[in-house]
């Protein structure tokens, strides 16, 4: 029974997951991009987005996290039903030293925009792939809708014997200890590598309990758990929920599970380089309207004496109980600043009027002094 189970599992994995696959690079970069396009758009699995550049010799580079073994590319070029796109191919292990592969590649006219055309070449092993684009037979634009890399097929995918199997069984457990396991890929980069091309869902975990968590533990026994709990998506450390996303509303809690109706709730301090309140309708420019009734300073003084705080500003007790809304509080503080500005302008006008009056009085006093002096001189 043990031998049959191991043989069946090994044959299943080699049959369904060991053939050559078309994989998407992990990253993409280019020396130039036009018209709101980007290199990433050529690997986003969306046939209606693309990378675009203009000029012969423009480069676009695709990179993997680890070296891969491959023998082909599949590319969907823009307007490939009428154009023949040209490019040269280079590979590298360190993105510094590059090696040319083959000569010039030319796409075949007649493919639709959504079709991936295959380009084959001798088997290569590299971490970085670079296309040096040479325009097309009509103009010098380079435009790629989508690109995939064809991994070299596993030539040892025949049914293995029990003696060569790497799968081991102990009681009800099955283990694989020698190498990496690939599902959907023949070039697994880590202990478990799942590559999916059909949907966003690369796996499915189901539980009949109130939650399911994937647990990650390092050698210091630090644990990170990601999954679902009571219907919500959670990230936990040390058994405590650190981030909670409510399933019905999408509200996010950091350090709390109940955001009390707010889209983001944080239990703790927040540090940010900038905070923007995108829209607030009740801004305080109404203070400068002609019909605004500016309180007199006597009225302000009476309110402070009676209430212990400025009018329209919450008291310390109210803030301690209910907190504040940043947009609303900023508007109220601005209202008080604008009122203070009006008081200052009015005070400046009063001071200017007083200065003018004093200046006039000083001139009159000087005239009187002159007259008195003249009268005294006349009576001598």
CA distance 272 to 275: 7
- Which range, 99-108, 146-155, 164-173, 182-191, has the best average confidence (pLDDT)? 99-108
CA distance 146 to 197: 13
pLDDT at 185: 79
CA distance 333 to 324: 12
| Residue in the structure block whose two tokens are 């690369």 | 202
> Per residue, what are the HEC states of 25-83?
CCEEEECCCCCCCCHHHHCCCCCCCCEEEECCCEEEEEEEEEEEEEEEEEEEECCCCCC
Span 50-71, mean pLDDT? 94
Question: 354: helix, coil or strand?
Answer: helix
Q: Are 103 and 89 in contact (CB under 8 A)?
A: no
pLDDT at 131: 97
Beta strands in 167-258 (DSSP E): 167-170, 173-176, 181-183, 192-194, 211-217, 223-229, 232-237, 240-245, 252-254
226's tokens: 């990601």
Smallest CA-to-CA distance from 128 within 43, 37, 66, 189 is with 66
b/e code 315-336 from CB counts within 10 Å (16+ = b)? eeeeeeeeeeeeeeeebbeebb
DSSP state of 284: G
Flag whether pLDDT at 162 surpasses 50: no
pLDDT at 153: 66
| Mean predicted lDDT score pLDDT of the chain | 84
Span 113-122, mean pLDDT? 87
Flag whether pLDDT at 183 surpasses 90: no
Q: Tell me phi and psi for residue 305, to 5 degrees.
A: -65, -35
When pLDDT is cut at 50, 70 and 90, the band that residue 198 belongs to is low
186's tokens: 């023949």
Q: Are 287 and 331 in contact (CB under 8 A)?
A: no
pLDDT at 27: 92
When pLDDT is cut at 50, 70 and 90, the band that residue 47 belongs to is confident
Q: Are 226 and 235 in contact (CB under 8 A)?
A: yes
pLDDT at 221: 80
Span 25-35, mean pLDDT? 91
Span 283-289, mean pLDDT? 86
pLDDT at 151: 93
pLDDT at 199: 63
Flag whether pLDDT at 45 surpasses 90: no
276: exposed, middle or buried (Cβ count in 10 Å: 0-12, 13-18, 19+): exposed
Task: List pLDDT tens digits, range 230-282.
Answer: 888 999 988 889 999 998 899 999 999 888 888 899 999 998 898 877 766 77
Question: 202: helix, coil or strand?
Answer: coil
Flag whether pLDDT at 159 surpasses 60: no
Domain layout of the chain by residue ranges: 22-151, 211-271, 276-380
DSSP state of 161: P
Question: 329: helix, coil or strand?
Answer: helix
Span 70-87, mean pLDDT? 93
Q: Which residues contact 255 (CB under 8 A, 6 or more apart)?
A: 242, 266, 267, 268
When pLDDT is cut at 50, 70 and 90, the band that residue 157 belongs to is very low
pLDDT at 20: 57
Give me the CATH code for the 22-151 domain, please.
2.60.120.260
pLDDT at 77: 93
Span 216-242, mean pLDDT? 86
Q: Are 333 and 285 in contact (CB under 8 A)?
A: no
Cα separations (Å) of 68 from 65, 151, 154, 242? Answer: 9, 7, 13, 37
Smallest CA-to-CA distance from 297 within 266, 339, 238, 334 is with 339
118's tokens: 């295959």
Question: 180: helix, coil or strand?
Answer: coil
Span 288-300, mean pLDDT? 90
pLDDT at 51: 95
When pLDDT is cut at 50, 70 and 90, the band that residue 219 belongs to is confident
pLDDT at 200: 67
Question: 262: helix, coil or strand?
Answer: coil
């Amino acid at each position: 029974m043990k031998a049959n189970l191991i043989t069946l599992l090994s044959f299943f994995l080699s049959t369904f997951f060991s053939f050559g696959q078309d994989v998407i690079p992990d990253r993409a970069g280019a020396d130039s991009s036009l018209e709101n396009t980007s290199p990433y758009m050529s690997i986003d699995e969306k046939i209606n987005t693309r990378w675009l550049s203009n000029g012969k010799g423009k480069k676009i580079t695709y990179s993997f996290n680890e070296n891969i073994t491959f023998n082909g590319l599949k590319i969907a070029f823009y307007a490939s039903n009428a154009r023949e796109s040209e490019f040269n191919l280079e590979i590298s292990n360190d993105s510094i030293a590059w090696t040319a592969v083959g000569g010039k590649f030319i796409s075949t006219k007649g493919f639709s925009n959504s079709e991936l055309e295959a380009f084959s070449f001798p088997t290569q092993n590299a971490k970085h792939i670079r296309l040096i684009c040479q325009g097309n037979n009509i103009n010098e634009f380079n435009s790629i809708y989508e690109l995939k890399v064809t991994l070299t097929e596993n030539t040892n995918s025949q049914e293995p014997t029990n003696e060569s199997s790497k799968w081991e069984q102990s009681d009800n457990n099955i283990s694989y200890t020698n190498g990496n396991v690939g599902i959907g890929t023949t070039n697994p980069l880590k202990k478990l590598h799942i590559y999916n091309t059909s949907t966003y869902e690369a796996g499915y975990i189901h539980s009949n309990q109130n939650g399911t968590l994937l647990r990650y533990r390092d050698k210091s026994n630090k644990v990170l758990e990601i999954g679902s709990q009571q219907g919500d998506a959670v990230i936990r450390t040390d058994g405590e929920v650190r981030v909670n996303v409510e399933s019905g509303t999408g509200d996010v809690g950091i350090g709390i599970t109940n955001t009390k109706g707010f889209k983001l709730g944080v239990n703790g301090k927040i540090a940010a380089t900038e905070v923007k309140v995108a829209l607030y309708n009740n801004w305080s420019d109404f203070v400068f309207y002609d019909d605004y009734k500016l309180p007199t300073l006597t009225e302000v003084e009476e309110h402070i004496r009676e209430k212990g705080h400025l009018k329209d500003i919450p008291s310390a007790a109210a803030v301690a109980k209910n907190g504040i809304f940043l947009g609303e509080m900023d508007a109220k503080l601005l209202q008080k600043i604008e009122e203070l500005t009006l008081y200052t302008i009015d005070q400046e006008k009063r001071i200017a009027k007083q200065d003018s009056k004093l200046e006039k009085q000083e001139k009159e006093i000087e005239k009187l002094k002159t007259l008195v002096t003249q009268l005294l001189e006349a009576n001598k």
